[in-house]
Amino acid sequence: MQQIEILGVFIGKAEDIGGGLSCVQRKQRLQHRLWLWPQGLGQDEQGDARFHGGLERAVHHYPAEHYDYWRALYPQRAWALPEFGENLSSRGLCEEQVCIGDIFRWGDALLQVSQPRSPCYRLKRLQADADLPQIAQDSGRCGWFYRVLKPGFASAELPFQLVQRSYPGLSVAQALHHFYHFPMERAGLQQLQGCLALSARWREIVAQRLKTGRLEDWSARLSGQPLEGAQVSEERRYA
Q: What is the pLDDT of residues 201-221, one digit of tens each?
A: 999 999 999 999 999 999 989
Alpha-carbon distance of 198 to 115, in angstroms, equals 6
Alpha-carbon distance of 132 to 193, in angstroms, equals 28
Percent of the chain with pLDDT over 70: 83
Alpha-carbon distance of 113 to 61, in angstroms, equals 10
Alpha-carbon distance of 157 to 30, in angstroms, equals 11
Give the model's confidence band at 227: pLDDT under 50 very low, under 70 low, under 90 confident, else very high.
Answer: very low
Residue-level pLDDT at 70:
95
The mean pLDDT of the chain is 88
The closest alpha carbon to 56, from 96, 113, 94, belongs to 113
Residues 66-87 have pLDDT tens digits of 999 999 999 998 899 999 999 9
Percent of the chain with pLDDT over 90: 71
Q: Are 238 and 218 in contact (CB under 8 A)?
A: no
Helices 200-212 and 186-193, axial angle in degrees (round to 10): 140
Tell me the whole-structure pTM to 2 decimals.
0.90
Half-sphere exposure of 162 (CA within 13 A, CB side): 17
Residues 119-156 have pLDDT tens digits of 988 786 656 578 899 999 999 999 999 999 999 999 99
Domain architecture of the chain: domains with CATH: 5-237 (2.40.33.20)
Residue-level pLDDT at 121:
83
DSSP structure class, residue 217: P
